[in-house]
Amino acid sequence: MKIKISKTVWILSLVSLFTDIASEMLYPVMPIYLKSIGFTALLIGILEGFAEGTAGFSKGYFGNLSDRLGKRIPFVKLGYLLSALSKPLLAVFTFPLWIFGARTIDRLGKGIRTSARDAILSSESTPETKGRIFGLHRAMDTAGAMIGPAGALLLIWLFPDNFKLIFLIAFIPGLLAISMTFLLKEKKQEANPSITSKDFFAFLKYWKIAGNDYKKLVIGLLFFSLINSSDIFLLLLIKYIGYTNTEVILVYIFYNFVYAVTSYPMGILADKLGLKKVFCLGLILFAVVYGGMAFQPSLVIIFILFFIYGLYASATESISKAWISIIAEKNDTATAIGFYTGLGSVFTLLASLIAGLLWSAFNPQVTFLFSFAGAVILVLYFIKFVKSGIND
């Protein structure tokens, strides 16, 4: 049977493509840039953790607000606008507090838009096509994450160590993304007053009304967030081993290429085999990568591990949101996703802090073996306690 993908899904996918070209143009450059202006591994962990924590709490709040108001598009527009504006701000000053502020604005934009956008994707799919719809969006998003670093690599070659120029140029694709959001049209969405409080943490009340299957799933996903620190630490390790800035960025481009190419096929596979099976496969691949990176491998092995890492990412990132959207009620979708992504970002904050502390107090090997062991435990948990929701 031929699956039709709606215009809305394509627009959102293209918006994410251009946004990620902008964001990921900076991502592999950030650890190099931060080290050049005096940031330690611990301070980088604090920065990334704080930024992700900001995104997390705002995902929960604005997801809940989107459901309460029955509106999606305004959150999508504002979120992408803030993320675009944050790029040139990084080029203005190098003071730590300023960097924290600019990075936080970027993540706040992500927090405002994510739950509403994912709720739109969910409404544009059926339970049988959740995997491929979320997978297509992730594929386009990650294609931007491949093009962005490639552009950064070219700019570094043309203008060595001129990081501020990269931050300014990254504003251009961000503007293209903003313009495309005006092609989206709000569809009639029933407001959900079931969580009526306007308190910033009102989304946390969703736990009281959520079903047991949702709770078991989210417990597992949150534990994964706790052991899955920022990818910046993977890039930092490659630099720590002794490879050049160019090699660091090439590895990251390769990873995103694999991630982009395999996200849609992995979504189709999840629709056919079951979300739980594909997600658990992703966790096993994650364990292989972190276990391998712990021993500071050669560049060839690093490329092999990052190929596996791309497969892991395509088997987990979009699959987890598709999984939640199946279990949650339709008019709770943004809140359900926002609750998970909100707390997930807080746990990611803790994960980055833990990674930075383990790195500073011991060595990089301990940091990566910690994540390896956690992933092994988590696979057993999902197999034993969590249901897929469909095709299980």
Query: What's at 330, amino acid-wise?
Result: K
**Average per-residue pLDDT for the chain:** 85
User: In terms of C-beta density within 10 A (0-12 exposed, 13-18 middle, 19 or more buried), how is residue 43 classed?
Assistant: middle
pLDDT of residue 194: 58
In this prediction, residue 197 carries a pLDDT of 54
Lowest mean pLDDT among 70-79, 172-181, 278-287, 329-338: 329-338
Torsion of CA 362, 364, 365, 371, to 10 degrees: 100
Q: Is 144 exposed, middle or buried (0-12, 13-18, 19+ CB in 10 A)?
A: buried
C-alpha closest to that of 210 among 390, 338, 46: 338
Q: Domains in the chain, ordered, with CATH?
A: 7-181+209-385 (1.20.1250.20)
46-55, 208-217, 344-353: range with highest mean pLDDT: 208-217
DSSP H stretches of helix in 70-129: 73-89, 96-123
- Inform me whether the pLDDT recorded for 36 exceeds 80: no
> Which of 194-198, 216-220, 262-266, 351-355 is predicted with the least confidence, judged by mean pLDDT?
194-198
The predicted pLDDT at position 368 comes to 94
56-70, 287-301, 304-318, 358-372: lowest mean pLDDT where? 56-70
Phi, psi of 90 (to 5 degrees): -65, -20
How far apart are the C-alpha atoms of 214 and 180, rounded to whole Å?
A: 34
Interatomic CA distance for residues 306 and 251, integer angstroms = 7
C-alpha distances out from residue 366 to 210, 285, 293, 299, 355, Å = 36, 19, 11, 20, 9
Phi and psi at residue 5, to the nearest 5°: -105, 125
| Mean pLDDT within 240-268 | 88
Query: Are the CB atoms for 54 and 108 separated by under 8 Å?
Result: yes
Q: Is the distance from CB of 49 to CB of 351 less than 8 angstroms?
A: yes
